Amino acid sequence: MIEGQTAITQSMYLINKKRDERQTGNGVLGKDDFMKLLIAQLQNQDPTNPMKDNEFIAQMAQFSSLEQTMNLAKSFESFAAAQKQAQLIQYTSFVGHSVRWHELTEEIDASGQPIVNEGTSVIRSVKYVEDSVVFLTEDGKELTPGNISEVMSGGRSNGLVEASLLIGKTVGYMADGEEKTGEVVSVSTKDGKMQYVLDDGTRIDGNSFVSITK
């Protein structure tokens, strides 16, 4: 090698050069991005060789499919939020009641089986943690629905009667991106949706709940 010259390596060949990747802001090509690309393609196409009808129809069909997929995803998100609300309200019937619980430990008995701890506690509050329901007991224990083997008092109801179980309880809810709290003083229905009136006059729906405390 001549002194002063740089050695040529495999990484310098064009065929081995990593191509730049173009990404949108969130890494996902949305329907607005797709439409912008289609418009830009139409504006910059060769006038002497414009896009054929079947090619344009195929592009529009692809756009329509993308839009329907995104709308379907939004519908699933709304359904999941409604399911979360219904589940949280259902579990509020546990608040203030005694439950029998069990949990596996890492300890092993003489027969090689895991030791199971059991006990009874009073549920003080219920909340969502990373999309999972967590019960907080008066003795400071955290339980999941899978830990509870028996509700020793109380029962369940449906609809407005079930929602009325929240009256007198403190709820945490989201408003303008900020978590706030208030005590539920009454429950009503409007246009088929449940509304909760707090002690400061605020009206919210169950989709805003993040916690419920005795």
Q: Where are the domains of the chain?
A: 90-213
Q: Return the SS3 of 29.
A: coil
Count of other CB atoms within 10 angstroms of residue 142: 11
Average per-residue pLDDT for the chain: 73
CA distance 186 to 171: 13
14 token code pair: 């064009």
Cβ burial, residue 171 (10 Å; 0-12/13-18/19+): buried
> Given the structure tokens 């967590």, which residue do they identify?
134
User: What is the pTM (predicted TM-score) of this model?
Assistant: 0.37
Q: Which residue has the higher pLDDT, 48 or 100?
A: 100
Share of the chain above pLDDT 90, in %: 5
Selected residue with higher pLDDT from 109 and 156: 109
When mean pLDDT is compared across 33-42, 189-198, 199-208, the lowest value belongs to: 33-42
Q: Tell me: the pLDDT tens digits for 166-187?
A: 888 898 888 888 889 999 998 8
